[in-house]
Amino acid sequence: MDYTFLKQQLRTKAVHKRSEIALDHALWCAQEIVTRFHELPLPEHPVVSAYWPMKTELDVRPLMHSLFNKDITVCLPVVVVKTDPLLFRRWEPGAELVTGPYGTEQPDEKYETVLPDVLLLPLLAFDRQGGRLGYGGGFYDRTVADLRRKTNPVVVGVAFSDQEIPEVPLENTDEKLNFILTEKEIIKGV
């Protein structure tokens, strides 16, 4: 079944709802996930892919700094070709970022390419079954599918608890989340 129209309606509502989150609450949530992240069942010495927040996405930069300070390798996704899976390049505080396609901030080619085993994904909406509504480009779905064929990554959606919806309409190409990390709780997906 084609959920294109339904997903677009949900995206519009989700963007609006997320934009209504007060800045002071958003900053508090960003600090809460720093603590809550360590409650996740993670591999030993993980390589963690984060994201540079855009617009009203939950800001994971405090978490990135915390992980880096604990000698955990942190990387950011890089769009190379629109139809290919993402690459991941090492990040460190003060790293020079370049503007990628769609306004993303990403490390340039001078930073080492690494393979993450934990992925933190931004999202517009989620459900308690591990469903994730993204922006519709399919970048993370392609990437997660590719990584799952090769390794066993821990895929974590990062969201404000207010972004939960009863059910995300999923198609065959949509990859489910292992966990959803919010300021209130960790939700087990698949």
130-168 pLDDT, tens digit each: 999 999 889 999 999 999 999 999 999 999 999 999 999
pTM here is: 0.95
Query: pLDDT tens digits for 1-58?
Result: 678 899 999 999 999 999 999 999 999 999 999 999 999 999 999 999 999 999 999 9
Average pLDDT over residues 97-101: 91
Q: What is the pLDDT of residue 113?
A: 97
pLDDT above 90 coverage of the chain, percent: 91
C-alpha 39/C-alpha 149 separation (Å) is 26
188 pLDDT more than 90: yes
pLDDT band at residue 103 using 50, 70 and 90 as cut-offs: confident
The structural domains of the chain, with segments of one domain joined by +, span: 4-188
Distances (CA, A) of 145 to 18, 89, 140: 27, 19, 8
Q: How confident is residue 186, by pLDDT bands cut at 50, 70 and 90?
A: very high
Q: How far is CA 103 from CA 83, 131, 134, 186, 189, in A?
A: 17, 25, 15, 29, 29
User: Is the CATH code 1.10.287.3510 the one for domain 4-188?
Assistant: no
Can you tell me the distance from the alpha carbon of 137 to that of 152, in angstroms, rounded to the nearest whole number? 23
